[in-house]
Chains A and B, each alone.
Chain A
Amino acid sequence: MDLLTVEHVSKHFAQHTALDDVSLSIPQGSIYGLLGPNGAGKTTLIRIINRITAPDSGRVIFDGHEIAPADIFNIGYLPEERGLYKKMKVGEQALFFARLKGLSRREATVRLKEWFVRFGIQEWWNKKVEELSKGMAQKVQFIVTVLHEPRLLIFDEPFSGFDPINANLLKEEIMALRDKGATVIFSTHNMSSVEEICDNITLINKSHNILSGPVDEIRRRHGDNLFRIEYLGDEEALRRRLEGQCEVLADTGEEPGRYRTLKIHIADNDVRSVIAAVNDTVELRSFTEIIPGMNDIFIRAVNGSLK
């Protein structure tokens, strides 16, 4: 079941095209990575989903119906460029944003107190925002984004400005929200976090959707049939044995744990016979496919060198 579907959305501005016939589906209860280089059209797409701007053509389907004004109460959006009123007190400000998202004052107060306790920031309630550090303000903004328990959460570079400890805290909160049933759109340039938390991704480049699908599948699909063998035994014998069966690329050297490793390329996918051959010759400790990282895939996809 898809919570959100974008169908053939195009958006043109005076000088350039921001989105050209972009379609994607976001499954309910998943974390969906929206990737792409700067200026690719991600922010425009997010603004269209948020109903900040309207597409020139195409439609956005939310929970089975064309997205309507009332749906913004079911969306929480943390923009990349974000700020708070500097002169306002933290608690009051959080209440203000929560009420704009349709919560009553009483309900918002109860939930805010809970979140403030969970993040250990109760004593900030009466502080002015200008007294907080950037990371502290980001925490408040995160709370404000998720407070009304929206079904769709959109985070644009949520980890910027966080130290590793708080970034991790945030990551866990995002995953917990997903586990509770929320659907998350996650836009970032940090590819390792994409590998860690995204279930699916779409890569937008030059206003087109150039790559979509589950993260694992994409990484596997773009693997180059490279494998790493960890073994104990005679390297020369192994090389001789594998001759003709696969291409030996490099001896990756002696690992600290006294195992030797070898990187190979198997052209015709006959993995089983290679494993058998290795097993015959040396003591096989592990045999792993080398899957490319999202970083690699991103760069190759944008360069146009992805097969």
Chain B
Amino acid sequence: MSQIGIIIEREFNERVRKKSFIITTLLMPLLVVALMVAPSLVMIFATGDTRHVAVIDHSGVIAPSLESGSEVVFEPTDLSVDDARKNLTDIFGVLEIGPDILSNPNDVKLYTNTSSSMLVEDNIRSQIADIIEREKLKKYDIHNLPEILKEVETTVSIQTFRNDGEGDSEAQSSVISTGIGFVLGMVLYMFLIIYGGMVMQSVIEEKNSRVLEVMVSSVKPFDMMMGKILGVAAVAAVQVLIWGVLICGVSALAMPALIPSDIMQNVEAMQQGTLNMAQTDMDMDMLRAIGTATDFGYLATIFVWLLLFIIGGYLLYSALFAAIGSSVDSVQDAQQLQTPVMMPIIFSIIIMMTILNDPNSTLAVWCSYIPFTSPVVMMARIPSGVPVWQIVVSLAILYATFVAAVWFAAKIYRVGIFMYGKKPSFKELWKWVRYKY
């Protein structure tokens, strides 16, 4: 086996056998699922509380029409405001409605015993607005008003079809694809920082422990550096593959089995474009979300791109991180030198939110060609649909830049591993690049 192969093998084995690797690899998908499920769980439990609000209605119009629900229970009272505030301290609060509420809709006061709640305020605001609206309409004396109101009430939902060039179009939920884009962008960001940092730290360790001094007589510095970078890359690839298999498997196999079959039938009908919208009472957004989340082909394609961008982005950045690691003696010393390397990664995370809102803006397209931002930005865009040629061009630029970065990093590495003591400046690093050996 070639020397570089032996080094790759060592780097890979050392990391994959670690307990921390096994734990994160298996727990991460669970964590992602938990993060996705948690908000709805919180919603369910948060609404469990029922708040009691005493109502003092000086107008006499509002109180009879207020509807109590599971969140807020309205209790009309004859007490004066002062008495109510003094005596009713064990309820959520007291609502006072002004006498001319119809002409002065701002004359509403809520006295609370604890801190107020958005939920309660929203409930009160929208109910009062509705009641006032209805009262005002009543003045026009329209015949059959309730029936007319019911008749004109409309909700609109959009079915999105992406034209993928073969005349074959499929519906995707843009909510879900934006969500996936966000998650993928974050995953890329984490991989670049964590795995890049891992390479840097491990180079510093080898230098500090003087293992490099022993190795350098048997292995060329370039092979040493590449062996480490590729060994860690293999670890990253294995981790992504495991996650891909787990998530695709859960989504495509487990979820359809768990979701009630009548919903799945509707989802399938919608995906085939045969769903009769008038005949279903299901929420279109939910159907589309489920459709996207259980679309195996869609998820698998995304994972292939994810793998390519994670590896490409990692290779580019880890070469730079390896160069930094070789030129310093401690992680603390590395901080100043790694700032310029970290900047583009952090920049891409900052602009990611803008890009998610408009995945095909000029900024988004440019940033997905620039190799230092392309991994994060492109991955955030891909779930919303990016032409394949754009992805291929972006990958080509990324991998070409990696080759250049390795050449550059190897020069610094060669010199850096024998330099102890003083932390080099950027000027000195540039001098090292031009050293001849």
Partner-B contacts on A (CB < 8 A): 14, 50, 52-54, 72, 75, 77-79, 81-88, 96-97, 99-101, 141, 144
User: Given the complex of chains A and B, what is the CA–CA distance between A79 and B211 in angstroms?
Assistant: 10
**What are 11 inter-chain pairs, A to B, with CB distance below 8 A?**
A52-B217, A54-B437, A82-B214, A84-B211, A88-B14, A97-B218, A99-B1, A100-B3, A100-B7, A100-B215, A141-B214
User: Given the complex of chains A and B, what is the CA–CA distance between A215 and B184 in angstroms?
Assistant: 69
Is the Cβ of A50 less than 8 Å from the Cβ of B209? no
Contacts of A14 in B (CB 8 A): 431
Binding site secondary structure of chain B: helix
Which one, A52, A82, A87, A101, contacts B14 given CB within 8 A? A87
Contacts of B214 in A (CB 8 A): 77-79, 82-84, 97, 141, 144
Contacts of A78 in B (CB 8 A): 214
| CB of B310, distance to nearest CB on chain A (Å) | 26
Give the residue among B10, B211, B215, B218 with the most A Cβ atoms within 10 A.
B218
Which residue of B is nearest A78, CB measured?
B214
Instruction: Indicate if B255 sits at the interface (CB-CB under 8 A).
Output: no
| CB of A87, distance to nearest CB on chain B (Å) | 7
Give the residue among A97, A100, A141 with the most B Cβ atoms within 10 A.
A100
User: Given the complex of chains A and B, what is the CA–CA distance between A97 and B218 in angstroms?
Assistant: 8
Which one, A83, A96, A101, contacts B213 given CB within 8 A? A83
Instruction: Indicate if B216 sits at the interface (CB-CB under 8 A).
Output: yes
Band of interface residues on B: 10 to 19
| CB of B427, distance to nearest CB on chain A (Å) | 13
Which residue of A is nearest B428, CB measured?
A14
User: Given the complex of chains A and B, what is the CA–CA distance between A14 and B427 in angstroms?
Assistant: 14
Known: A78-B214, A85-B209, A87-B14. 9 other contacts (CB 8 A): A52-B217, A75-B217, A77-B217, A79-B213, A85-B211, A100-B3, A100-B215, A100-B218, A100-B219
Number of residue pairs A-B, CB distance < 8 angstroms:
53
| CB of B3, distance to nearest CB on chain A (Å) | 6
Contacts of B215 in A (CB 8 A): 97, 100
**Given known A-B contacts A87-B14, A99-B1, A72 and B213 have beta carbons under 8 A apart:** no
Instruction: Indicate if B125 sits at the interface (CB-CB under 8 A).
Output: no
User: Given the complex of chains A and B, what is the CA–CA distance between A97 and B224 in angstroms?
Assistant: 13
Give the residue among B7, B211, B217 with the most A Cβ atoms within 10 A.
B217
Contacts of A85 in B (CB 8 A): 14, 206, 209, 211
Which residue of B is nearest A154, CB measured?
B217
Is the Cβ of B213 less than 8 Å from the Cβ of A99? no
User: Given the complex of chains A and B, what is the CA–CA distance between A141 and B219 in angstroms?
Assistant: 16
Contacts of A88 in B (CB 8 A): 14
Contacts of A141 in B (CB 8 A): 214
Contacts of B431 in A (CB 8 A): 14
Is the Cβ of B210 less than 8 Å from the Cβ of A81? yes
User: Given the complex of chains A and B, what is the CA–CA distance between A104 and B10 in angstroms?
Assistant: 15
| CB of A164, distance to nearest CB on chain B (Å) | 24
Contacts of B206 in A (CB 8 A): 85
Is the Cβ of A99 less than 8 Å from the Cβ of B6? yes
Is the Cβ of B218 less than 8 Å from the Cβ of A72? yes
Is the Cβ of A82 less than 8 Å from the Cβ of B6? no
Contacts of B218 in A (CB 8 A): 72, 97, 100-101
| CB of A31, distance to nearest CB on chain B (Å) | 19
Which one, A72, A79, A83, contacts B209 given CB within 8 A? A83
Give the residue among B7, B206, B213, B431 with the most A Cβ atoms within 10 A.
B213
Which residue of B is nearest A54, CB measured?
B437
Contacts of B10 in A (CB 8 A): 96
User: Given the complex of chains A and B, what is the CA–CA distance between A82 and B6 in angstroms?
Assistant: 20
User: Given the complex of chains A and B, what is the CA–CA distance between A77 and B217 in angstroms?
Assistant: 7
Contacts of A72 in B (CB 8 A): 217-218
Which residue of A is nearest B219, CB measured?
A100
Is the Cβ of B217 less than 8 Å from the Cβ of A86? no
User: Given the complex of chains A and B, what is the CA–CA distance between A82 and B209 in angstroms?
Assistant: 7
Is the Cβ of A79 less than 8 Å from the Cβ of B437? no
Which residue of B is nearest A76, CB measured?
B217
| CB of A14, distance to nearest CB on chain B (Å) | 7
Q: Which 5 A-B pairs have the closest CB atoms?
A: A83-B210, A83-B209, A77-B217, A100-B218, A79-B213
| CB of A75, distance to nearest CB on chain B (Å) | 7
Which one, B1, B211, B219, contacts A83 given CB within 8 A? B211
User: Given the complex of chains A and B, what is the CA–CA distance between A173 and B10 in angstroms?
Assistant: 30
Is the Cβ of A96 less than 8 Å from the Cβ of B210? no
Is the Cβ of B217 less than 8 Å from the Cβ of A82? no
Contacts of B14 in A (CB 8 A): 85, 87-88
Contacts of B211 in A (CB 8 A): 83-85
| CB of B405, distance to nearest CB on chain A (Å) | 24
User: Given the complex of chains A and B, what is the CA–CA distance between A17 and B38 in angstroms?
Assistant: 67
Which residue of B is nearest A75, CB measured?
B217
Which residues in chain B, 208-231, are within 8 Å of chain A measured between CB atoms?
Answer: 209-211, 213-219
**Given known A-B contacts A14-B431, A88-B14, A100 and B213 have beta carbons under 8 A apart:** no
Contacts of A101 in B (CB 8 A): 218
User: Given the complex of chains A and B, what is the CA–CA distance between A83 and B206 in angstroms?
Assistant: 8
User: Given the complex of chains A and B, what is the CA–CA distance between A99 and B209 in angstroms?
Assistant: 20
| CB of B109, distance to nearest CB on chain A (Å) | 67
| CB of B219, distance to nearest CB on chain A (Å) | 6
| CB of B419, distance to nearest CB on chain A (Å) | 11
Contacts of A81 in B (CB 8 A): 210, 213
Is the Cβ of B210 less than 8 Å from the Cβ of A79? yes
